[in-house]
Amino acid sequence: MGTYVTQQWTPRTTDGVPRRFTRSGTYQAFVPDSLLDLDVPLDGPVLALLDEAESRAREAADLAAHAGLGQIGDLLVRSEAAASSLIEGYEPTPRAVAVADFVARGRESAVTVARTLHAVRASVERARDPGVSLVWDVVELQRLIAPRHAGVRTEPVWIGGRTPLEAHYNAPPHDQVHRLLDDLDAYLSSRRHRPVLAAALAHAQLETIHPFADGNGRAGRVLIGTVLARYGVAPQITLPVSTALFRDRERYYAALDAYRQGDRGLAVVHVVAEAVTAAAADALRLSDRVTQWQRRQTESLDTYLRERSSTGRVRHGVAHRLVTDLPTHPVLDAATTAARYGVTAVAARNALDALAAAGVLRPDRKADRTRTVYVATELLDLVAEPGVAAEADAAPAVDVPLAATDPEAGTACGAWLPRAGRSCRLPHGHRGQHR
């Protein structure tokens, strides 16, 4: 289970703060036991659940070489990053995130998710390198996710409440975090447990350690994917496990609480195994939907070109190649297209304009001051949370850079986010609108 250690809390500032938040006192911080010593009671149903999860994940990974699923690898990364951020209360549309990722600026919520997208995308390649430490690589990836609070924390953190004296959970003291991360890394290197079991336990352990001042949840869910990749279950694709976790997030939160209360990981193993199974099904379903989408767009493009042709013939050129590659590059501009396909800027612009006229792409002249970008909006909507229709962006992008923003964060916004089922944690007065 773990042990509790007594810590002293003294608030840094008291001016203008309600009295209940200015009192000092002691609190109990939780320090988890090593996973190297954890014996998880695996009965028949749990073993069957793990077998199913690993089998389904391998089936999806085996199809990564197939043209359909192989092309949607980046869309799966987008789905995982969006859902992982949605659990934390960030809910921009997939289109807003894709544009922010392409032009390196946008509304604050979109930029925040784009940072998570960068981390998930980077984790795919790095997890395949056996010389990379999975745990300490997550520490590096957290710097992409939350650059304002990058690196291992040097102060107390807690969940719930304004101070640790009234918190729902108090994480281990900061001076023990490095030791706990080294121990977690030793556990993953030991291959003591099977893949999905190890991914679930490592995720719960990292969430319990809470090694960062911000970005713990998103970094912890990246770890699930990197463990599955390193252990050979899904080495070529990122399964959108966070999408499944978001669907049943209250059970997910309860499982993490149960782990901290000594259930030896049973609840979190159930939740993560079921999420992996669902994520594999989601990947295959997305592959079919993207294939159908490409077929429809090709037909629309052919119809448009045939109507403009004096002979009624359709000449396949750059525009058709773009349709094929849109799952990997859903946001484009003329310069990028010209460089990628080795054509002139005029030819690239003509191809993009033809796709826009055929309804395949949507031109956006406000995302960047110096260029028009073209977005495959309908394609990006396919990666939105299943069952939730993507909404139109309420406002154009504003100049929030993708790099780190002002380190002086104010109090939390507190606006209620119905999709996430919780209040907004962005600083008060942040730019961007809630939907």
Q: How many residues does the chain have?
A: 435
Helix (H) or strand (E) holding 212: none
Across 68-96, average pLDDT: 86
**Quick one: pLDDT band at residue 29, thresholds 50, 70, 90?**
very high
Instruction: Report helix, strand or coil for 412.
Output: strand
**Which of residues 1 and 177 earns the better pLDDT score?**
177
pLDDT for 427 equals 57
Q: Where are the alpha helices (DSSP H) in 309-405?
A: 318-325, 334-341, 345-357, 377-381
Calculate mean pLDDT across residues 331-336.
Answer: 95
Q: What is the dihedral of CA 167, 187, 195, 119, to 10 degrees?
A: 60
Residues 6+ apart with CB under 8 A from 13: none
Q: Both tokens of residue 139?
A: 């520490």
Asked whether the beta carbons of 209 and 177 are under 8 A apart, the reply is yes
Average pLDDT over residues 377-391: 68
Predicted confidence at residue 416, as pLDDT, reads: 53
Fill in the amino acid letter for 410: G
The whole-angstrom separation of Cα 220 and Cα 205 is 9
Q: For residue 73, report the phi and psi dihedrals to the nearest 5 degrees.
A: -55, -45
Whole-number pLDDT of residue 70 = 62
Least-confidence region, from 152-156, 267-271, 412-416: 412-416
Has residue 389 got a pLDDT over 50?
no
User: CB atoms < 10 A from the CB of 128, how many?
Assistant: 13
Domain-located, residue 313: no
Share of the chain above pLDDT 70, in %: 84
| Alpha-carbon distances of 45 from 133, 224, 228, 343, rounded to whole Å | 32, 22, 21, 58
Average pLDDT over residues 225-230: 94
Picking from 194-198, 246-250, 431-435, which range would have the lowest pLDDT averaged per residue? 431-435
- Output the known binding site: 214-221, 252-253
pLDDT class of 404 with cuts at 50, 70, 90: very low
Per-residue pLDDT for 327 more than 60? Answer: yes
Is 434 a domain residue? no
395 forms bridges with which residues in the sheet? none
Give the pLDDT score at 391. 45
Separation CA 123–CA 114 (nearest Å): 14
**166 within a domain of the structure (yes/no):** yes
Residue 334 CA to residue 357 CA, distance in Å, equals: 15
Of 158-162, 244-248, 422-426, where does mean pLDDT reach its minimum? Answer: 422-426
* Residue 422 backbone dihedrals phi, psi, to 5 degrees: -160, 175
**Is residue 181 within 8 Å of 167, Cβ to Cβ?**
no
DSSP β-ladder status, 331-332 and 362-368: unpaired
Instruction: Determine the pLDDT at residue 398.
Output: 43
Average pLDDT, the chain: 86
Model confidence at 424, in pLDDT bands (50, 70, 90)? low
Give the chain's domain count: 1
C-beta separation of 257 from 94 below 8 A: no
pLDDT in tens, 339-359: 999 999 999 999 999 999 999
Per annotation, catalytic residue among 210, 270, 320, 430: 210
pLDDT for res 406 = 37
Position 140 in a domain:
yes
* Domain assignment of residue 57, yes or no: yes
Residue 322 phi, psi dihedral angles, 5° rounding? -65, -45
Is 193 a catalytic site residue?
Answer: no
Give domain status of residue 130, yes or no: yes
* Tokens read off for 225: 């994917």
Give residue 367's pLDDT.
Answer: 84
Both tokens of 294, joined, read 């490409």
Which residues line the annotated binding site for ATP? Answer: 214-221, 252-253
Helix (H) / strand (E) element for 374: namely strand 371-375
Per-residue pLDDT band for 127 (boundaries 50, 70, 90) equals confident
- 211 in any annotated domain: yes
The CATH number that applies at residue 145 is 1.10.3290.10
Residue 335 lies in a domain: no
Q: What is the DSSP letter of 360?
A: S
Determine which helix (DSSP H) or strand (DSSP E) holds 228, and give its type and residue range. helix 216-230
Which residues constitute the domain of residue 6?
A: 2-286
- Average of pLDDT values for 405-427? 52
Burial of residue 242 (number of CB atoms within 10 Å: 0-12, 13-18, 19+):
buried
